[in-house]
């Protein structure tokens, strides 16, 4: 990887870019993943590359849903594997969920590489190499699913997803948690719970919330879920985005204006 000095003002963003580029070189990530990363970066820029309060509340709701789940599952694609493999393993362990590799641009080799990477980082259960079921309504490789994993799960976390798979999983009656920097994407809108945040911040936030909430009475967790307002969360992300943008262009005085 290119060495990025810690002092660089865009250190985190440039490191993420390096991780994705390395993921492509290693065969974990598809070249199309670079474009998805670019779209994500643009939205991250618009929210000031920080976790919005709406996303922090959504992370807590996501953790509550995963703890309450009868059978949770967590989906991993090529971008996620390149950006946050250890964070995914840590979250899976915190909530007792399997990680299931699911790729839009599927090749058996890529699935194997990602599964091996997750195992090497300590994942207890990695699925996706031998799918034995299909999500109804999808006609591409993303339909592939595993019994005992995403196919049977009642709660599924899908960081970085395409809208039609999100919608299809919801149609199966699952609680679907999405992480998507774009509050306007079909994924964010169709999910049950959405974190409008960079997955590099969102995943550790969910893990932390899960560790905090574990062992709390089910009633308290159910209340956190009941308090979660999906449309309100997306609206609030847009409002926070707009207010951040307005702050950037606030003109202190006419004299100081450079536009």
Point out which residues bind ligand ATP (CB under 6 A).
36-37, 39-40, 43, 83, 160, 162-163, 179-182, 185-187, 198-199
Question: Cβ of residue 113: shortest distance to ligand ATP, in angstroms?
Answer: 20
Dihedral sign, Cα of residue 12, residue 13, residue 18, residue 22: positive
Rounded to whole angstroms, the Cα distance separating 63 from 155 reads 11
C-alpha pair distances (Å), 108 with each of 67, 142, 168: 31, 13, 23
- For ligand ATP, the closer of residues 174 and 221 by Cβ is 174
Rounded to whole angstroms, the Cα distance separating 70 from 68 reads 7
Question: Cβ of residue 24: shortest distance to ligand ATP, in angstroms?
Answer: 14
- For ligand ATP, the closer of residues 61 and 181 by Cβ is 181
Q: Which residue is nearest to ligand ATP (CB)?
A: 40
- Answer yes or no: are the C-beta atoms of 61 and 206 closer than 8 Å: no
Rounded to whole angstroms, the Cα distance separating 214 from 155 reads 16
Rounded to whole angstroms, the Cα distance separating 243 from 47 reads 9
Question: Cβ of residue 257: shortest distance to ligand ATP, in angstroms?
Answer: 32
Question: Cβ of residue 38: shortest distance to ligand ATP, in angstroms?
Answer: 8
Cβ neighbours of residue 1 under 8 Å, at least 6 residues apart?
18, 19, 21, 22
- For ligand ATP, the closer of residues 100 and 162 by Cβ is 162
- For ligand ATP, the closer of residues 68 and 241 by Cβ is 241
- For ligand ATP, the closer of residues 37 and 233 by Cβ is 37
Question: Cβ of residue 218: shortest distance to ligand ATP, in angstroms?
Answer: 30
First to last CA, the chain: 38
Question: Cβ of residue 21: shortest distance to ligand ATP, in angstroms?
Answer: 14
- For ligand ATP, the closer of residues 51 and 185 by Cβ is 185
Question: Cβ of residue 88: shortest distance to ligand ATP, in angstroms?
Answer: 13
- For ligand ATP, the closer of residues 83 and 99 by Cβ is 83
């Amino acid at each position: 990887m290119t060495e990025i000095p810690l002092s660089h003002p865009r250190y985190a963003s440039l490191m993420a870019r390096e991780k994705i580029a390395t993921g492509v070189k290693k065969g974990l990530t598809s070249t199309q993943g670079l474009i998805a990363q670019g779209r994500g970066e643009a939205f991250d820029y618009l929210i000031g590359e920080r976790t919005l309060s709406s996303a922090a509340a959504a992370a807590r709701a996501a953790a509550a849903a995963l703890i309450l789940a009868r059978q949770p599952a967590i989906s991993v694609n090529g971008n996620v594997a390149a950006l946050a493999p250890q964070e995914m393993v840590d979250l899976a362990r915190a909530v007792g969920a399997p990680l299931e590799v699911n790729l839009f641009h599927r090749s058996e080799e890529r699935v194997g590489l990602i599964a091996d990477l997750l195992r090497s980082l300590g994942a207890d259960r990695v699925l996706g190499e031998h799918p034995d079921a299909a999500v109804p309504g999808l006609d591409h490789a993303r339909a592939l699913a595993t019994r005992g994993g995403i196919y049977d799960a009642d709660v599924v976390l899908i960081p970085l997803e395409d809208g039609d798979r999100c919608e299809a999983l919801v149609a199966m009656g699952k609680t679907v948690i999405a992480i998507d920097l774009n509050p306007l994407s079909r994924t964010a809108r169709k999910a049950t719970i959405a974190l409008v945040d960079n997955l590099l911040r969102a995943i550790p936030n969910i893990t932390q919330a899960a560790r905090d909430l574990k062992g709390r009475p089910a009633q308290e967790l159910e209340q956190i879920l009941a308090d979660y307002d999906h449309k309100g969360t997306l609206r609030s992300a847009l409002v926070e985005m707009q207010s951040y943008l307005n702050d950037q262009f606030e003109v202190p005085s006419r004299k100081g204006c450079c536009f």
